[in-house]
Structure 1
Amino acid sequence: MYYGRNNASFWVAHATPGRNPALIIRPADDEAFRQCPGLAAASFVVTVRYGNESHVLLDPPSQLELGVYRYESFPPPRLPTIGPTELEVRLDFGFYPGGDSGQPCDDTACMPLDVAHTGTAFSGDEIRSETGERVRLAHGPRAVGRSADTSTCSTLDPLPAVYMATENDFVFTDEEGMPCNVVAAGSALPATPDLRWIQVLGDSNSRYLVTRLAEMLNLTLAAEHTAVNEKHPTTLIFHDGTGSGVVLSFQWFFVRQDPSDARNLAAINLSSLAAYLDSIPFAPTPAWPKSFTATETRVTDLFLSFGSHAPGLTQSGMRAGMDRLDAGLRERFGLARSTYLLLTAATEPSTIPESYGPQSAMRNNMIIKNAQNAVANEYIRSTFPDTIVVDFFSLTRTTPLSLKKDSVHFLSEVYSAQADLMWTAMHLADLRVEPPSLP
């Protein structure tokens, strides 16, 4: 069992009959392993496939008895489908103690090799029925349908995503599974100043996202800077050259496992657009439009991502990081009109090269969800209650392998969807500044 539980063939899945079916996952030899404590810490990924649509179940299963898992709530399809509903069941970990609490070891950070030595190993393989087939629901939920008057998504966390294979695109639903619309990047916003400064603090995923958003807004890369000992640009500045409209900037930042993250944050000068541009040692110094430097332009929209460069952090380690960054975040959030937290994207452990060793023991979605994102969300909501949280995790958890560049990065379609979510967040923030007039 020690090794077998980490293999998909150790498990079987089946659907219960009736109008309200449930998915049951259990050991193939359930008599030999009945009520086995060593099987009580497994994790799975279940994708519900309604023809063209893919929905990933985000809520954890209940455990009927030790080692027997039950999913009984399935999101409805957007459109009517013909034929049975398929359930793709994949084994993440057959054994991951502490994964659901984000604390697989007692320290602020865990070494992947130490976690692996407890018997934890990522699988990623599909669990089938006893007959070797994919599980099907004879009676799935009824389709919610499409409505011309579907409203804009009013809450962006949680924000379940649906992948539409034919369109190679994503649509979104609210917590009740009802469709909601996002605001396309570049659409008119309710309260846009003459010069809108959008600042993003994040890692390489944020850099890809900012670059894609700039393309969607028809902005030009005006300047970039790469800090010492870095391989890729750590500062990017995009604008359209008119001195008005949008200036979009990216600054390299992420939570670390040491105090250098607080020092890096303290070095980011967001007191004004002019001060920020002057603080970066561009070579040569660009000729900025006068509006960038002649007025004290403040940050209109400040987006923060804590990134994925500290995969070893546990819940306690992430909390220590929030304590360390607190003063710097309070100062910078206080300088912006509107603030946003971009939850860290899901990872794909199956694509981590074997030469990297057992990194998947810590670089996985249980840790991202239950340690990093859970603590970041808790900290931001309690410290900055007006900050809008944007659920990039659910979107990227639903992203198919075909749209993933590697274990942590994505293709442009995903960054386009993220850009639309950013724009939707700005739309919601603007409504607070400029509420819609009553008819």
Structure 2
Amino acid sequence: MRERKYDQLGVRMVEHRCANGLTVTVLPKPGYNQVFATYSTNFGSIDHRFRSGDGREIKVPDGVAHFLEHKMFEKKEGDVFRLFASRAASANAYTTFDMTAYLFSATHDILENLETLLDFVDEPYFTDETVEKEKGIIAQEIRMYEDNPDARVYYQLLKGLYEHHPVRIQIAGTVESIRAISKEDLYTCYRGFYHPQNMHLLVVGGIDPETVIETVEKNQAKKANRTAEGPAQRLAETEPDRVFQARQECEMPVNTPRIFVGYKDVGTEVRGAEGLKRDAVTSLLFDALFTKGGPLYGQLFEKQLIDQSFGWEYDYGRGYAHAVIGGNTPEPERFLEVVAEGWRQVEQDGIGDEILERSRKRLIGQFVKSLDSLRFLARYITAYHFKDMDLFATIPALQTVKREDVEARLRELIRPERQAVSLVRPVN
């Protein structure tokens, strides 16, 4: 058991590695009645090619990770959601490109709910009949995303940015790919990636760390068969630095065009302490320029080329990384011209210290405020753990970024061969 303290933030975190390899993190929040727990596997939608524990090379249909998440709640005895609800607990799950997380929040019966969380994730139950039934449900979900302009403009952008990497494929897969998913595919992925060494349990809130760890150790000791087959080995895709297609367009029934501009950032894996620094530098670059008060945001707003939907993000994971700006715009071509000219001007003149410091204070302030949210902590401590990052090192990372770092980042990332555009136009 290891204890970490972040005195500046008033945070104490206890970490423990179980005998079977499962990592447990507990962050006690004295004075909180609520507890959040997430039980996660380092397995997401991009993990569709891998070598199994017995050495076989395997390719599974796209959408398996998300499909598996759906099916984990259904057991022979019934639906796990009902069991959580009977104890006034709220349960949920989500799949990202990189990970799958199962969670509950509750104010009572915490240890009982924790055991339920561990047991239902540790004990899969799939049948041919239930798998076939789920295909129709997930197909509806996929079609819903395809009809959503925000989802369409985003995934269309990823298809332009990436040529080979599976991040270009929707997390839920396609209607065609999920039709090919079998019970055997689910069990194969489960055995390969739901291995204790590939998983993380996080508990945050009004709870005693020692009690949690004792409960988890006893629970896991009863499940020796889970470690019979070693964790799977991912097979990476080779992805070029340049974008695949510089422009993607489609028409949808929208009132105003939606545009996303993406900047591809592959070549250096964003993970560990260096990855956290890269995140901090990139975030400062885009926040300083494209948040309210920033010079490029100001130009776009004054010319009435953006509205409240405008924003930016930097997303990264195994083998992929990209920054994105965009939102609604009445004049897409003019929007692109102003953004391009804005980048040129900033590269020529540099970023003012005052603008950079204002952005630094804003990002640090937003982060500190987020620490009051158990939901935020439950999601991001785990996500950072899988990237070998320390969430609570975010502030020092932001504090050490220099103006020269940000300007060098601009020159590295904002280049024509790294830029792709995704546009959703109103139907003619």
TM-score, normalised via structure 1 length: 0.28
Task: Tell me: higher relative CO, structure 1 or 2? Use CA pairs within 8 A at least 6 residues apart.
Answer: 2
Instruction: From the two aligned structures, give the one with the greater helix fraction.
Output: 2
TM-score, normalised via structure 2 length: 0.29
